[in-house]
Structure formats: structure tokens, C-alpha cells
Amino acid sequence: MSFRRPNWGTRLETLNLSSTRELANYILTALFALGFFLLLIACGGHRPGIYHQVKPGDTIYKIAREYNVSPLEIARANNIKDLSSSLKEDTVLFIPGATKPKEPKEKKSSPSPSPPPPQRKEEPAEKKSVPPPERKEKVEKPPEPKDEPKSDTSLAKGEKRLFIWPYQGEITNTFGPQPGGMFYNHIRIEGRDSDPVLAAAAGTVIFSASLKEFGETVILKHDRGFTTVYTYLGTRTVKIEEKVPQGKKIGTPRPTGKDGKAFIHFELRENTKPINPLPFLPPKRLTE
């Protein structure tokens, strides 16, 4: 009578197969999380972005595809814990790193070449005789009126009187390119912590909450496609959908930690595009 020796190595491999796969999945997940964390550290700082007003049917994933950014980044920037949660219409989300919506693929296709002009048929020889040119009398045109005001659809002149300074102080950072390759969508105003933050123009509050990279934030919607953005506030005193007149207190500035000093960041946007607010505000002296 013979006995067959069991193959314990094969049995152990069979028993540990599922646990080995789970361990591999845990390792891959940990490496992915570590890489994403390092990427966030490398991209830290005041990142550019735009504000998106939620339309009917919008979701986090749909907005992420529209701007070609990660849904997780949108959720983190707006303190959204559930990516599948429904979004309230007309609320405003900050889209970090975005400059404009991604164009549809149809628009990127090269235009079809225009058809060649039709060839002109030659007329018979007997019809080619050209009649003598008629003598045209010179008709004098009436003189054009001088200094006639032209219709100007631009908003530059009229809107200079629409906005007031949202906070009394001195400008310590201007709009546009900065040293080191950065670009600021805002101006920084430093003043006293006892002075309030005011609505630069009459409008409706479309955003009043805390943003991850911009602190306490208020956004007002105005006429003619303008919005004003107030970030790095100390406190907010207005709510969403509240209508505010020009000069109404909407919050307080954020203290700098120095004696009685505070600051805010102020943005002006036309149809969501950031523009330099200084030409639209009363003249003010820059810090030396």
C-alpha cells in the first residue's frame, strides 16, 4: 500500500492567491494617493481659475469634462464631500486651474475648402464689341459732419462711475503678470481692520461661502455681465440671493497680524473673464 505525499506548496499558493491580489491593490492605491498628494504640494499656492454658475442638469463630472479638470479638484476647492451630490441651480463653483471651457471637437475640425470660382464663358466674337464709355457727371457728396459722436458699445467710459472702492486702503499687489511667472486675477488692498468691506456696485449675491484656497468669499452679480469677487475676507455678512445696494457692508477684512492692519483681494470680471479693475475705480495712489 503506497501513500502519495501532499503538495503543500501548491495548496498554500491557492489559499493565498486572493489575499495576494488584495495586497497588490492596496499597494497600488497607496502609491496613487501618495503621487496625488505630492502633485497637490507641487501645485500649491494661489492658483488661477474661473467661476462657473451652475446650470440645469450640471453635475460635478459634467463640469469637470467641460473645463477639462479633475472632478476631485473641483470638489476639494468648493468643500463638496459627495461627488454625486446634486448641485443647486445658479450657485457658483470655483474651477481651479481653468481659463475657459473646453471647445467641442466639431469646432476644432479644419474648415472645408471653398469651391473654385465659376469659369467665365467666352462670348462670340461678334458680341465682344465694347460700346464707348458713357460720360459720367461728377456728383459732389455732402460734407460729413465733423466731431459727430459715434455709437460706442464698449463699457469703458460709462462703467467707470458704476464701481466704488470696496475697501479703503492702499494697493500692494496689482492685476496681471507677477515676478516668478505668476498671474494675478485680483488686486490686493491693505488697510485698517476696523474698516468694512463694501459692495463695489449694486447687485445680487450669487456666492457666499468659504473656498479652500481663497478663504471667505463673496461674489456679486451686476448688470451688463459684470461680477465682483471679494476673497480672503475675515467674515461675511450677506447671504446667497440677497440683493445689495452699492456701498452696503458685505463683510470684514482679514487681519494681517500686524497692528490694526488687514487686507482683501478684489476681482472684477466681465462675462466671467477677469479684467483689470483699476480703470473702473476712482484714481488711487499705489504704494511705493
Please state whether beta strands 187-192 and 183-184 pair in parallel, antiparallel, or not at all (unpaired).
unpaired
d(CA 193, CA 138): 74
Q: In the chain, which residues fall in CATH 2.70.70.10? A: 157-280
pLDDT per residue, tens digit, the chain (288 aa), is 555 555 555 554 554 556 666 776 667 666 655 554 444 444 444 456 778 888 888 988 888 888 888 888 888 888 787 877 888 877 788 888 787 776 655 544 445 555 555 565 555 555 555 555 555 555 455 444 444 434 333 444 444 568 999 999 999 999 998 888 889 999 999 999 999 999 999 999 999 999 888 899 999 999 999 999 999 999 999 999 999 999 999 999 999 988 899 999 999 999 888 999 999 999 864 443
Angle between helices 17-42 and 8-15 (to 10 degrees): 40
Rounded Cα distance between 177 and 191, Å, is 23
| Cα–Cα distance for residue pair 190/264, rounded to 1 Å | 7
Identify the CATH class of 46-102.
Answer: alpha beta
| 3-class DSSP assignment, residue 77 | helix
Burial profile 69-88: b = 16 or more Cβ within 10 angstroms, e = fewer: bebebbbebbeeeeeeeebe
pLDDT at 153: 34
DSSP state of 91: -
Residues of the chain with CATH 3.10.350.10: 46-102
> Which pTM was predicted?
0.56
Work out the number of other CB atoms within 10 angstroms of the CB of residue 101. Answer: 15
> Which has the closest alpha carbon to 207: 70, 42, 73, 94?
94
C-alpha cell at 259: 497692528
Give 1's Cβ-side CA count (13 Å radius): 0
Contact 231, 215 (CB under 8 A): yes
C-alpha cell of 56? 440645469
How far CA 33 is from CA of 30, 38, 71, in Å, comes to 5, 9, 15
What pLDDT is recorded for position 281? 92
Report CA dihedral (71, 73, 79, 84) to the nearest 10 degrees. 10
The span from the CA of 67 to the CA of 99, in Å, is 8
| Closest C-alpha among 248, 262, 206 to residue 88 | 206
Residues 189/264, Cβ–Cβ less than 8 Å: yes
CATH class of 157-280: mainly beta
Compute the distance between CA of residue 46 and CA of residue 97 in angstroms, rounded to an integer.
10
